[in-house]
Amino acid sequence: MQRLNVSVLLGDPHLPYAYALDGVFGAEELKAVEELSSALGRLSGYRFVYLDDHAGLIDELRTHPPDLALNFCDTGFRNDWVLERNIPALLEILDIPYTGADPMGISLTTDKALVRALATGQGIPVPNETYVELSADPLVLPSIYPCLIKPNSSGGSFGITRDCVVHDASEAETYLRWLAEELSVVDALIQDFLTGPEYTVGLVGNLHSGFTVLPPLEIDYSALAPDLPPILTYGSKANPDSPYWEKLHFRRAEIDDIKWSQLVDHSVKLFRRLGLRDYARFDFREGEDGQPRLLDANTNPTWYWDGKLALMAEWAGYPYHELLRLILETATARYGLGKAS
């Protein structure tokens, strides 16, 4: 069998990137691409081409369509996160097979309130939650404190800071107005502030072929200063000046068999209900009653070599390049492209 021609779709390092602290691709993003290229270089049966120039992306794909697109463009088209779904939409129009979620899956999971509603319909435990239109006057405020406020439509913990845990109406209104005025967020969620263990479940596969379930991950907040709320903030991921920076650690979770079975069952149900493909991550956190509740569904979770998915895969015996192979083989099997040799 001939090698598969794979186009690796990435963010554009030449364009502004609003998620990064300095507004441009930095050392972390460039290092991730370097590690990705090195890992893919270890795989036989594939010929990889890297596409990160969004000005010429459409013409390149139309002129030289690959056998498969490895869609790692989680920055969105032209590094606009709102346009993340446009990349798979383009691939659909050009009839190019690709890895990961389709436009509908991305659109659904972008709306966290909608994910919660779908999860509730599947019998999956969720936090109590109130949806807030930030253009409303007066604003809807919490009825119970403390609680957590976060954007309804965002990724990478964008808009989540130490101040998103509020203790009274004044703090709540201040934070809601900050989201609207400083970050241009249009809607937000008020949720129970859960402080129990926080878990992540990783799935690689599809419903028809079965899943490789990766070992569970737990976020370790023990190194945080006691006055900081134990939450996964934007600063912990992107800002070296944040008090959260390098204070949060990931460890393999120790969960009893019954609870682990429930988390996997919830994740598979939501994978199916959201129409996801190839791989995904699901985040849960326990409340005071010890019941894990869904926090988020992550389509196309970060592909970085040091990200959660890669770490969980390593625990399962899949080093980074083998995780990438697993994703590629999952997608090629779904399309019936055959196995690269």
Total domain count, the chain: 3
Question: Which of 158, 176, 192 delimits the end of a domain?
Answer: 192
Domain check: are 111 and 232 in the same one? yes
Domain check: are 185 and 87 in the same one? no
Instruction: Kindly state the DSSP code that residue 223 receives in the 8-state scheme.
Output: T
Question: What is the β-pairing status of strands 210-213 and 187-192?
Answer: unpaired
With beta carbons less than 8 A apart as the criterion, state whether 235 and 243 touch: yes
Cβ within 8 Å of residue 227, ≥6 positions away = none
CATH number of residue 259's parent domain: 3.30.470.20
Domain check: are 121 and 246 in the same one? yes
Domain check: are 241 and 319 in the same one? yes
pLDDT at res. 125: 97
Distance from C-alpha of 283 to C-alpha of 159, rounded to nearest angstrom: 18
CATH number of residue 50's parent domain: 3.40.50.20
Domain check: are 298 and 309 in the same one? yes
Domain check: are 246 and 120 in the same one? yes
Asked if residue 14 is part of any domain, the answer here is: yes
Cβ within 8 Å of residue 182, ≥6 positions away = none
With beta carbons less than 8 A apart as the criterion, state whether 26 and 89 touch: no
Domain check: are 115 and 31 in the same one? no
pLDDT at res. 238: 80
pTM to 2 decimal places: 0.95
Domain check: are 30 and 60 in the same one? yes
Asked if residue 337 is part of any domain, the answer here is: no
pLDDT at res. 154: 80
Element (H, E) at 121: helix 112-121
Domain check: are 172 and 212 in the same one? no
Per DSSP, helices labelled H in 122-256 are 169-182, 234-238
Asked if residue 338 is part of any domain, the answer here is: no
pLDDT at res. 250: 96
Instruction: Kindly state the DSSP code that residue 300 receives in the 8-state scheme.
Output: S
Q: How far apart are the first and last CA of the chain?
A: 6
- How does 12-32 read in b/e, with b if 16+ C-beta sit within 10 Å? bbebebebbbeeebeeebeeb
Closest CA to 90 of 19, 155, 9: 9
Asked if residue 300 is part of any domain, the answer here is: yes
Cβ within 8 Å of residue 130, ≥6 positions away = 140, 142, 143, 189, 190, 191
Asked if residue 333 is part of any domain, the answer here is: no
Distance from C-alpha of 184 to C-alpha of 187, rounded to nearest angstrom: 9
Domain check: are 111 and 220 in the same one? yes
Domain check: are 184 and 199 in the same one? no
DSSP 12-71: -TTS--TTSTTSS--HHHHHHHHHHHHHHTT-SSEEEEEE--TTSHHHHHHHS--SEEEE
Omega within 30 of 0 (cis) for the link into 65 = no
Domain containing residue 83:
4-100
Asked if residue 335 is part of any domain, the answer here is: no
CATH number of residue 173's parent domain: 3.30.1490
Cβ within 8 Å of residue 341, ≥6 positions away = 1, 3, 44, 45
Polymer length of the chain: 341
224: phi then psi, degrees, rounded to nearest 5: -70, 150
Q: How confident is the prediction along the chain (341 residues), in pLDDT tens digits per residue?
A: 589 999 999 999 999 998 887 889 988 899 999 999 999 999 999 999 999 999 999 999 999 999 999 999 999 999 999 999 999 999 999 999 999 999 999 999 999 999 999 999 999 999 999 999 999 999 999 999 999 999 999 877 888 999 999 999 999 999 999 999 998 999 999 999 999 999 999 999 999 999 999 999 999 999 999 999 999 998 888 888 899 988 999 999 999 999 999 999 999 999 999 999 999 999 999 999 999 999 999 998 999 999 999 999 999 999 999 999 999 999 999 999 976 55
Domain check: are 281 and 209 in the same one? yes
